[in-house]
Structures are given as C-alpha cells and as structure tokens.
Amino acid sequence: MDRSQYLDMFIDESTEHLQAVNDNLLKLENNPNDLSIVNEVFRSAHTLKGMAATMGYDDLASLTHHMENVLDAIRNNKLAPESGILDVVFESVDDLEAMVNDIASGGEGKRDVTEAVRKLEAAESGEKAIEEVSEQSMPAFEASPGSSMAFDNFEETVLRQSYEQGYKAYHLTITLSKDVILKAARVFMVFEILEQIGEVIKTVPSVDQLEEEKFDLSFEVVVVTKDSSEEAIAKVMKVSEVHNVDAKVIDASTTEQQDHDESKTSEIEQAPVVQPTQTKEAVATSSKEEKTTQGGKTIRVNIDRLDSLMNLFEELVIDRGRLEQISKDLDSQELTETVEHMSRISGDLQTIILNMRMVPVEQVFNRFPRMVRGLAKDLSKKVSLEIIGAETELDRTVIDEIGDPLVHLLRNSIDHGVETPEKRRASGKGEEGSITLRAYHSGNHVFIEVSDDGAGINRDKVLQKAITSGVVTEEAGQTLSDRQVYELLFSSGLSTADEISDISGRGVGLDVVKSKIESLGGNVTVDSKPGNGTTFLIQLPLTLSIISVMLVEVQKEIYAVPLSSIIETAIIKKEDIMAAHNQKVIDFRGSVVPLLDLTDFFDVPRTEEDNDYVSIVIVRKGDKMAALVVNSFIGQQEIVLKSLGNYLQSVVAISGATILGNGQVALIVDCNALIK
C-alpha cells in the first residue's frame, strides 16, 4: 500500500484523536464515575489503533492496544480510574504523541515502548487478580456448563436486574452455514434482530472480533428479552445463511441462588455498580446530543490552495476596479448597476476567503490543560487552568506561531507565579492556584491573556537582578515605576527563578517570548499586583497576511510603510533640517531624530522638483526613531502581504511586496532594517 498519500491524513487524524484522548482523560480525572468519558477515550484509542495498524506503524498500534486494555478494564468497572492508573495512561499517550511526531517529521514512528507496555500491563493485571478471586467466589455465574462464558460484575448486575423486571436471559449459540460469504454482515444482521427483541449483554468472541470475522462458524450471545426462546430462535433463523440457533435459558434460580450466597458481597458491590449503569445511559444520550451539535461538516484544505485562491481573487478585485472606472466613464446605468452588484458580491467573497483562513485558538489551547497538569504535578503544586474564549479565531499563520510563546508564559505562571500549597495556605488563599487563559477580539486585534492568582512579581527582586546583570544602573532603577520594572522581565538574560528548575531554566527567558510576538506584529505587556497575581497580555494582529500600511510616494514610486512602525507623519520646513556630523537631523518634539531620504536610500530616479516643505514619516524601532523623507502621502490602506519570492531574497530594507488596486506591485519598507 502506498502510505504516503494517506500520511498527512493519518498524522492530522491521529493528532486529533490523541488530543481527544488527552482532553477526555483530564475530564475523567475530575469525574471518575462518568463511564461515558471512558467510552469516548476508548473510541479514540480504538480508531487510532486501527489507523496505525493499517499504516503499518506496529509499535504505535501495539502500545495503543495495551492502553485500550486498561481502558477496557476501567469501563467494565474492573479498574478504578485513579490518579495512579491515569498517570500510566497519560505516559503512554506521551509515547504515542512522540511516535506520531516522529512520523510527522519523516520517521518510522518506532519507539521503545516496553516500559510503557509493562506499566500498562501492571496496571491492568493489578486488578485482574481481584477479578479472578471474585470469579472463584461465584462459580455459578457460568451461563451453561461447558461454555466458555463467564460474567463479570457488571453483566451479573444487568442480568439480575433483568430478571427482576421480568426479562429472561438466553444463551444463544448461533451457527452459520458452511458456505457463508459475508460472515461479519450476518453477525451484524443477527445483532440487529436481537437488539429489536431485547439487549445483547455479552458475546463470545467479543464484538470486535466478530466484526473482524475472527471466529469460525459459530458464536455465542447472551441476550435478555421478554420473548420466549422459541420466538427468539425463529427470528434469528430468518437471517439467511444462519444454519442453526441453539438457545439455553440462563437459569434465574441460579442467579437468585447466587444472590443469597453472595448477599454479603453483592450488596456492597451492587450499590456502586448499579449507579454507573444509570448514569452511563444518561450521559451517553447527552454526549450524543453534543456530537450532533458539534458535528458541522468540514473539509481539510491545504493552506497553499487558499493562498492561490486569494491570489486569483485579488486579480478579480483589480479587474473590478477597472470595470468600475469604465462604467463611470461610459455612464450607462445598466452597466453601473451590474458593476455595483458585482462589487458587493466580491466584497462578500473576500470576507469568506479571509474567514476560511481563520481557525479557533482552541487548536493551540487544547494542549495546555494536559501540560499544566503535568507541570503542576512535577512541581507539587495545585493548579487549575481555566480557558475562556477558545472559540476566538485567528489567522492560521498566527496560530502556528503563537503556541511556543504561550507555553512559555504558562510555564512561567506555574513555576514563578503560583505558590506551593503550603505557602498559599499560609497567605490565606485556597491551596489550589488558578491560571486563566483568556482570548478575545478587540478591533483589529486579538488579545490573549495569561493570568494567575499567585504571589505576583517581586519588584525588588526583579530590580536587583536587573542591576546585577547590568540591564539598568542602580540610579536609573530607583526612578522606575512598578510597571517599568516589570517590563524589565522581558529584557534578555533575566530570570527571576531562585534556582534553575527544569521548567524555566532552559536558557530562554521572556525576552524570547517578546521578540517572537513582536515578529508577529504584536506586543506583550505584563501587569502584577503583589500577593494577587500576575497577568501577561499579548496583543496580536488578526492575520499576518493583511497589514495596515501608509502608502507613500517617493518620486514616482509607491512604497508601503507598516503602520505598526509609524509614530506620526509631518510636514516640516526645509530650514528646520539641521546637520549633525554629516547626518541630517530634525528636532522632533524635543528629541533629535536622524533624517533619511528614501529617494537616496532606494536610489529612486529624481523626477520631482524640490520645494520648501518636506514630508516625513517618523518611524520607530523599539525606542529609537528615524524620520523618512518622502514626496507625498497617499493614505492608509489594508494590504495583502506577498513575498518577493526566492529569487530576490533579503533585499535591503524591503520586507515584502503587495499588489495595489491598479494591479501594480508596491514594496513594503522594513523600518527595522532602516534603524540600526
């Protein structure tokens, strides 16, 4: 089988399934009694196993298989979903993730999973022993002599309850004709019929094996129904290619007898077992509803295709502009109306195309609950993570980049922000610290907030550190406001951890976060209340592919200057230009700003006459400024960013290009490169 064509799909889907497993395991930890969650996890794991096996990733399949066994034990109430057992499952999920990542980066998905498998087996067998004991104590639960069928606690309870409600249980042995062609299909039809008359409680071999046709010609089923055994047999026999059906009544008296014998244990056992069966059904229906509401139809599209769709669409917009011009010139009402209609439609289309690139931040946020759980455990802190606004949408390109900075901030909050349970108790807070991750839209920006209710930032400590590492002088430090001191956290080479821990002592500080976010056209600020916690606020542009610029004319050429770099524009008199050491400068609100003539810098052929006034754009890089001399301002505009392509890499002080309304290309000035 040619795997490559399915590889992308496999990777996408396994990542999704693993994410689902992670999410649901976390939920399970909080509601250990909710068996429907286990079923969800089991389903995801089962699909993953199937996919991995189909693709030939045996290690992946086998580890998932072992994980499935543990999950199976949990959902059959043989195993309690305690923290210890979930840890083992989480660990194996980590392994699975590592394998999928390996596959995604071109590897074979091989990994030594013996340790994980051993742990899973231990977890599973730890309870198996108990199960065996209980089976010994109730030998009479064998459905019929000589049969391989034995019931576990859960099935017993169902049987017992059925009797109480007047149902009868039959043990059917169904034999198919020798020349049966579609065994699995026949099994399916038999089940269809049995489900109509009652409920199938158990099959030998298991349903999975039956579906995979892993049986010879006969299989056994235990069904509870109000029908008589003859009726049941007659109905099953209607399925073609069923050769013979043999029914044995599972003796009610034996079970009742059992009840007496078991009275001591079963009473205790019954209570916890019965409850789940009820809740299980209740939750099962509710989760079904959830499924249907969620289940919007989607299709995966390569982002390159969206890009080319966008490119083509821009062409259309440019033609639209021309048509508008023509219709104005011709002054024909019919034409004008048609063109106006077209403009409206293409406007809507543009919105749709842009929206197609938007993805909910959920995609990134999803991985955090798991991470926070792990980190908190490692640091023996108690932390709860609240996520708000996960549905907030961001451009795909931003989503891909934002994950790492957020991981860093969350780590920072858990490591430095939230105190140990003892400390929290001492300061009169609840033992469990809380971290809130909130995303929301505001204007043309998306804000992401990471806040904790921890100890806050210790101003003196930060300042002390900044002074010893030479970031600020002692004198300057005294005059700084609290906020300015907090901002120092983002300067390079500053970590406030007393000891280097595994979590934050990786040589990367918040400065990396800051530069990453700035490279995305956003910024990050920090605020803190001593004793009450710290909040990091990230501001991001909605999309990286569209930016706001000021279009300026330099002689006859048009350049775009990103608004994010512009402080303001001004027109100054020529005589206000001063010279300082061979460099033209101006006085801009009290500070001396160097002047840079774009005509000279970009070698633009001079066509315009000099006049007495000079138009300037004041741009900044950090706190440094420069004034760019241009000929005139055209205006502010939203533009679609394009790269100059591979052939013209890194042109000096040009960060990219865009296509203007008239179809011409304009270059985008890279202000960061202009200011040294």
Residues that bind another protein (CB under 8 A): 308, 310-315, 557, 601-604, 642-648, 650-654, 657, 659, 663-667
289 is catalytic: no
Q: Quote the tokens at residue 92.
A: 């194996």
| Catalytically annotated residue among 39, 412, 631, 672 | 412
581 is catalytic: no
Element spanning 649, H or E:
none
d(CA 474, CA 476): 6
Shortest reach from residue 450's CB to another protein, in Å: 37
CB 361 within 8 A of CB 439: yes
CB 224 within 8 A of CB 158: yes
CB nearer another protein, residue 210 or residue 558 = 558
**Can you tell me which residue has the tokens 């138009």?**
615
Instruction: Indicate the residue type of 52.
Output: A
CB nearer another protein, residue 390 or residue 654 = 654
| Catalytically annotated residue among 17, 66, 68, 408 | 68
**Greatest Cα pair distance in the chain:** 111
Shortest reach from residue 655's CB to another protein, in Å: 12
Distances, alpha carbon 400 to alpha carbons 368, 395, 396, in Å: 15, 9, 6
CB nearer another protein, residue 231 or residue 307 = 307
Find all residues with CB under 8 Å of 444, minimum gap 6, and list them.
541, 542, 548
For 43-67, give one letter per residue: b (16+ CB within 10 A) or e.
ebbbbbbebbeebebebbbebbbbb
Question: What is the β-pairing status of strands 242-249 and 168-176?
Answer: antiparallel
Shortest reach from residue 95's CB to another protein, in Å: 37
CB nearer another protein, residue 179 or residue 647 = 647
Element spanning 242, H or E:
strand 242-249
Shortest reach from residue 654's CB to another protein, in Å: 7
Shortest reach from residue 352's CB to another protein, in Å: 17
Shortest reach from residue 657's CB to another protein, in Å: 5
68 is catalytic: yes
CB nearer another protein, residue 12 or residue 315 = 315
- Helix (H) and strand (E) counts for the chain? 22, 22
CB 144 within 8 A of CB 248: yes
Is the CA virtual torsion 544, 545, 550, 552 positive or negative?
positive
CB nearer another protein, residue 169 or residue 641 = 641
DSSP state, residue 223: E
| Catalytically annotated residue among 46, 65, 243, 445 | 46
Q: Which residues are catalytic?
A: 46, 68, 412
